[in-house]
Amino acid sequence: MKIIRAKDYKDMSRKAANIISAQVIMKPNCVLGLATGGTPVGTYKQLIDWYNKGDLDFSEVTTVNLDEYRGLPRENPQSYWYFMHDNLFNHVNIDHSRINLPDGTNLDAAAECARYDEVIRSVGGIDLQLLGIGHDGHIGFNEPGSAFELGTHCVDLTQDTIEANKRFFESIDDVPRQAYTMGIKTIMQARKVLLVASGKDKASIVKKAFFGPVTPEVPASILQMHPDFILVGDEEALSEI
């Protein structure tokens, strides 16, 4: 495990983008595993900035996203398909045929999870997986208690996750109750894992996940066992370690 300390959110975003851009430059046809949520947005903005300056070329990159709400169509502004296009894909020269996310409109969970595992296998696996971390230690939608050996699966979202996501919807009743997510097994098979953490509210879970016992009750703790794991955090997020 490598820990990179950043001054603040902007510095964290730049340092994380540096690692991703190095991956793209060293292997132009790499497979990037991407995450949604507030924390990676600054990283995506930095990547777009470097692309606009001519420093990055995404034309051969393939992407696979961590997760998607079950039941939301792509055009819904709260879908992760929409988020990724709004925050990254529409602003760089990525080949849209190389973009992959779980299909939230396929309500046959077994079929969709099997399809997505096959997509990841068919592109040769993930070279670099970007992650955020939830306040309870979840990564993707792998909630506390998730089995470490799972591939892509359908999860029932916890009340805490539903509460955390309600700010994005008109009411809590509109928040999806299920999602498709890469499993921890899939995440651990990525050749490199990069996790970004920002803010004082993440300090206790960062300490618990990366300096406490490895346990399914703190899903991110398994990353202690990954052979090439990098944590990039700002001073507030790393304040307890």
Task: Please name the residues in contact with 184: beta carbons below 8 A apart, sequence gap of 6 or more.
Answer: 139, 142, 146, 147, 148, 149, 150, 219, 222
Annotated catalytic residue 136: yes
What pLDDT was estimated at residue 166? 83
As a whole number of angstroms, the distance between CA 67 and CA 142 comes to 10
What pLDDT was estimated at residue 146? 84
Supply 214's token pair. 């490895």
The reply to whether the predicted model has a pTM over 0.75 is yes
Eight-state DSSP code of residue 71: T
What pLDDT was estimated at residue 160? 80
What pLDDT was estimated at residue 165? 79
- Other Cβ atoms closer than 10 A to 216: 16
Residue 113 lies in a domain: yes
Range of the domain at 136: 2-179+189-220
What pLDDT was estimated at residue 168? 82
Catalytic residue among 103, 112, 127, 136: 136
Q: Where are the alpha helices (DSSP H) in the chain?
A: 9-26, 41-52, 80-87, 109-122, 159-165, 184-188, 203-211
What pLDDT was estimated at residue 170? 83
Catalytic residue among 103, 112, 127, 143: 143
What pLDDT was estimated at residue 169? 86
Residue 237 lies in a domain: no
Residue 194 lies in a domain: yes
* 3-class DSSP string for 166-190: HHHCCCHHHCCCEEEECCHHHHHCC
Q: How many distinct structural domains can be found in the chain?
A: 1
For each of the chain's 241 residues, which pLDDT tens digit applies? 999 999 999 999 999 999 999 999 999 999 999 999 889 999 999 999 999 999 999 999 999 999 999 999 999 999 999 999 999 999 999 999 999 999 999 999 999 999 999 999 999 999 999 999 999 999 999 988 888 898 999 999 888 878 877 888 888 888 899 999 999 999 999 999 999 999 999 999 999 999 999 999 999 999 999 999 999 999 999 999 9
What pLDDT was estimated at residue 70? 95
Catalytic residue among 103, 112, 138, 153: 138
Environment class of 138 (CB within 10 Å of its CB; exposed 0-12, middle 13-18, buried 19+): buried
What pLDDT was estimated at residue 107? 93
Residue 144 lies in a domain: yes
Annotated catalytic residue 163: no
Residue 128 lies in a domain: yes
Annotated catalytic residue 138: yes
What pLDDT was estimated at residue 125? 97
CATH number of the domain that residue 15 is part of: 3.40.50.1360
Residue 79 lies in a domain: yes
Residue 206 lies in a domain: yes
Residue 9 lies in a domain: yes
